[in-house]
Amino acid sequence: MKKSAFLLVLFIFIIFSPIKYANSKIAFSPEQVKPRVINIAAEFVQYWEQAKDLPMEDKVKLWDEMIESKHKNFYQQIIYQFLYRTGMEKAKEEKLIRFLETVPDRIDRIKECAFTMEDEIVETLQLFKAKYPEFVPIFDYYLAISLDQADGAVRPFNNSIICFFGVDAASNIKSKVRRQALIAHESFHLYQFSHLMPKIMQKYGQINTQQFMAQTGAGFWMFIEGQAVRATEHLLPEAGLYAVYEKLIPEIKEKMPQLADELLQNMQPMSPQIYKKYFLDPNDDTFVPKKSAYYMGYLIVKELEEEYSMAEMVKWDFDTINQKMADGLKKLKEVKIK
């Protein structure tokens, strides 16, 4: 699951957006596992049928008319949010044009993914509900065109949290089980934050991204991502360690004492540089393998399962999370975790 730094910072951004946490009060039938899916990607397929033979200038104009004007808030807040904040309005059009130039060679994959992912979301949530029956899938799921910026993410939108999948990026995933692993990973983040959000609001109130990252530190984010990796492995073992670069695992193991030591020293606070180095791709670091913290968090969570269930861990408070992860990092530093 390759995500740019831009998109993963957006994921962190969920914690300080004003969110109405009323979803937990919604009546829910245990048999109901079908969430509301807003399929903007299906609308893109209709758009392309009209736009494919037009010159690029007209393609862009029709995009604005058929897609963006209908979903203006979604695109401004989710896809273009940082572009507008930094005054890079022209970057939006450049990204759109670069994407549209690639569509003729991949429209069949995009089309198939746009119409199959709805069913895959439902199937995956059925597995999820069987494993975690207390999870209430009342969150909106968006299928959209991300201009190749993300295959999936959890983000704030319209005073709530949504699960978003970039169908254009997800269409590059070659198997159904790997797409379901993407869905499971992001859905687990919804599950985590359905428990964490009240604690976040109580402890921090309104807080900006850098402050929250610094105060929660490396252990918290290792737990969030490592637990999602482990949960996805439970649900879909045939998908492998989704969100971990498995080809980098031997290098991570070789460098484990040094990696664990640096993360231990950034438990609280953690700088944006450390976050980029251990959680992002690209990380611009020649020593630290990309997204190492995902795999290291996974190893710690896997060992913690010998004593605690995933459902128990998801309810932990910040102090417990940080202590358990610090203990796990100390073992990794000595290479004691199995």
**So what's the pLDDT on residue 26?**
35
Within this chain, do residues 280 and 222 fall inside the same structural domain, yes or no?
Answer: yes
Q: In which band, very low, low, confident or very high, does the pLDDT at 88 lie, cut at 50, 70 and 90? A: low
- Residue 1 is assigned to a structural domain of this protein: yes
Within this chain, do residues 161 and 223 fall inside the same structural domain, yes or no?
Answer: no
Within this chain, do residues 181 and 212 fall inside the same structural domain, yes or no?
Answer: no
Q: In which band, very low, low, confident or very high, does the pLDDT at 208 lie, cut at 50, 70 and 90? A: low
**So what's the pLDDT on residue 34?**
72
Cα 29 to Cα 94: distance, rounded to the nearest angstrom: 45
In the block, tokens 């799921």 appear at 141
In the block, tokens 């439970």 appear at 234
Give the mean pLDDT of 238-266.
95
Q: 0.85 exceeded by the pTM?
A: yes
Residues with Cβ within 8 Å of residue 247, at least 6 apart in sequence = none
Contact between 323 and 249 under an 8 Å Cβ cutoff? The reply is: no
Within this chain, do residues 157 and 300 fall inside the same structural domain, yes or no?
Answer: no
**So what's the pLDDT on residue 27?**
38
Instruction: Give pLDDT tens digits for 13-34.
Output: 443 343 333 333 333 344 556 7
Percent of the chain with pLDDT over 70: 86
Torsion of CA 258, 261, 263, 267, to 10 degrees: 180
Among 168, 195, 222, residue at a domain's last position: 195
Measured at the alpha carbon of residue 6, what is the angle toward residues 218 and 106, in degrees to the nearest 5?
Answer: 125
- The number of folded domains in the chain is 2
Tell me: pLDDT of 131 over 80: yes
Within this chain, do residues 122 and 224 fall inside the same structural domain, yes or no?
Answer: no
Within this chain, do residues 176 and 245 fall inside the same structural domain, yes or no?
Answer: no
In the block, tokens 């899938």 appear at 137
Q: What residue numbers bound the domain in which 177 lies?
A: 1-195
- Residue 203 is assigned to a structural domain of this protein: no
Tell me: pLDDT of 82 over 90: no
Give the mean pLDDT of 205-217.
73
- Residue 64 is assigned to a structural domain of this protein: yes
Q: In which band, very low, low, confident or very high, does the pLDDT at 136 lie, cut at 50, 70 and 90? A: confident
Within this chain, do residues 245 and 124 fall inside the same structural domain, yes or no?
Answer: no
Within this chain, do residues 186 and 86 fall inside the same structural domain, yes or no?
Answer: yes
Within this chain, do residues 175 and 213 fall inside the same structural domain, yes or no?
Answer: no
Within this chain, do residues 127 and 273 fall inside the same structural domain, yes or no?
Answer: no
- State which amino acid sits at residue 148: D
- Alpha-carbon dihedral sign for residues 147, 40, 160, 127: negative
Cα 184 to Cα 178: distance, rounded to the nearest angstrom: 10
**So what's the pLDDT on residue 139?**
86
Tell me: pLDDT of 120 over 50: yes
Within this chain, do residues 51 and 147 fall inside the same structural domain, yes or no?
Answer: yes
**So what's the pLDDT on residue 196?**
86
Phi, psi dihedrals of residue 83, rounded to the nearest 5°: -65, -45
Within this chain, do residues 37 and 93 fall inside the same structural domain, yes or no?
Answer: yes
Q: In which band, very low, low, confident or very high, does the pLDDT at 289 lie, cut at 50, 70 and 90? A: very high
Lowest mean pLDDT among 51-60, 89-98, 163-172, 242-251: 89-98
- Alpha-carbon dihedral sign for residues 87, 88, 89, 90: positive
Average pLDDT, the chain: 86
Instruction: Give pLDDT tens digits for 304-328.
Output: 999 999 999 999 999 999 999 999 9
What own/partner pairs with CB < 8 Å and gap ≥ 24 does 60-68 have? 60/93, 60/96, 60/97, 60/100, 63/96, 63/100, 67/40, 67/43, 67/145
